[in-house]
């Protein structure tokens, strides 16, 4: 099994019911989705993610990847946002002087 990161936007089941009545989808009914799934192939991972929507529906379809958005941005060397510091670096061991 492999680990797949799935992210995208979806309309909640409540939002779909409202859209059937009014014909429009409100922006408040669209939510982000980002989860990791263990699956044999990408199709199975997308199927598991679609089940996890609990009656919701993808707006543009899910984005499938092997790394998270954070990992992709760090690999590109993107600047850090204020208040979101980088993970702590390993502290070098100090050499102790023994007498």
Task: Quick: pLDDT tens for 29-79.
Answer: 899 999 999 999 999 999 999 999 998 999 988 989 888 877 888 888 877
Q: What is the pLDDT of residue 40?
A: 94
Q: State which residues form the domain around 42.
A: 2-76
Does residue 90 sit within a domain?
Answer: no
pTM of the model: 0.67
Task: Tell whether the model's pLDDT for residue 99 goes beyond 60.
Answer: no
Q: What is the pLDDT of residue 89?
A: 64
- Would residue 99 count as lying in a domain? no
Q: Are 67 and 5 in contact (CB under 8 A)?
A: yes
* Cα–Cα dist 90/25, whole Å: 48
| 84 is a domain residue | no
- CA-wise closest residue to 59 among 6, 8, 15: 8
Alpha carbons 31 and 49: distance in angstroms, whole number: 14
Residue 95 within any structural domain of the chain: no
Domain count, the chain: 1
- Residue 42 · residue 50 · CB < 8 Å: no
In a domain, 47, yes or no: yes
CA distances from residue 45 to 8, 13, 18, 74, 92 in whole angstroms, order as listed: 13, 21, 29, 25, 41
In a domain? residue 69: yes
Q: Is residue 92 part of a domain?
A: no
């Amino acid at each position: 099994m492999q680990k797949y990161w799935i992210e995208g936007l979806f309309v909640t089941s409540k939002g779909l019911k409202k859209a059937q009545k009014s014909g429009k989808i409100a922006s408040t009914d669209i939510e982000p989705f980002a989860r990791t799934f263990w699956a044999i192939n990408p199709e199975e991972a997308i199927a598991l993610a679609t089940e996890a929507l609990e009656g919701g529906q993808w707006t543009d379809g899910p984005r499938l990847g092997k790394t998270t958005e954070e990992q992709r941005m760090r690999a590109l060397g993107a600047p850090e946002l204020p208040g979101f510091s980088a993970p702590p670096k390993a502290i070098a061991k100090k050499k102790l002087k023994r007498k």
